[in-house]
Each structure stands twice: as structure tokens, then as C-alpha cells.
Amino acid sequence: MQAWWRGRVAVVVVAADRPQYLYRLLRQLLGQPGMTPDLVLVSVDGDNEGAQASAGVAEVLGLRHLTHRSEQGTAYHVSPRISR
């Protein structure tokens, strides 16, 4: 059995706890010619209030989303910045 998202997802958006930026990005993305909600998958990382709000943005816009929650006891912060 194939996963529901395989073969029909053109864009994966990775989000966390900044729903206002996610909303702006998704509105711009959905405004592009040929882009439809069924081609977008939003992956939300975290289980805090901001991440829940980001998942809510995806729902309001009619987009599929997955939420990744941290395991118990692994509460550490990984910086997305690249060090030299």
C-alpha cells in the first residue's frame, strides 16, 4: 500500500513555530500558476503553541500537513544556523 502523499506532492514546506511567515509563504505559493492545494504538503516540527498554530494555518488553507513531535526526554534545541 502506497502512502497518500507519494506521487502527488510537488512541494514540501517545513515549518515550526512562525505561523505568520508560514501563512505569507503559503499564500504566495498557492497564487502561482498551476499550483493547487493537493500538490502541497506542510511538515510542522514541534508540539508547542506556535507549531500548533502553524498546523492550524495549513488546515485553514485546506492543505495536508504532518506534525512531528519530539520524544519524551529529548528536549534540546538544534540551531539551523551554519557555523564556520
Domains in the chain: how many in total? 1
78 falls within a domain: no
63 falls within a domain: yes
Beta bridge partners of 40: 11
Beta bridge partners of 44: 15, 67
Q: Is the pTM above the cut of 0.85?
A: no
74 falls within a domain: no
Residue 54 CB neighbour total at 10 angstroms? 29
Q: How confident is the model at residue 81 (pLDDT cuts 50, 70, 90)?
A: low
2 falls within a domain: no
Domain containing 59 equals 11-68
83 falls within a domain: no
Q: pLDDT tens digits, residue range 19-77?
A: 999 999 999 999 999 999 999 999 998 888 988 999 999 999 999 999 887 665 555 55
pLDDT for position 37: 92
C-alpha cell at 22: 508560514
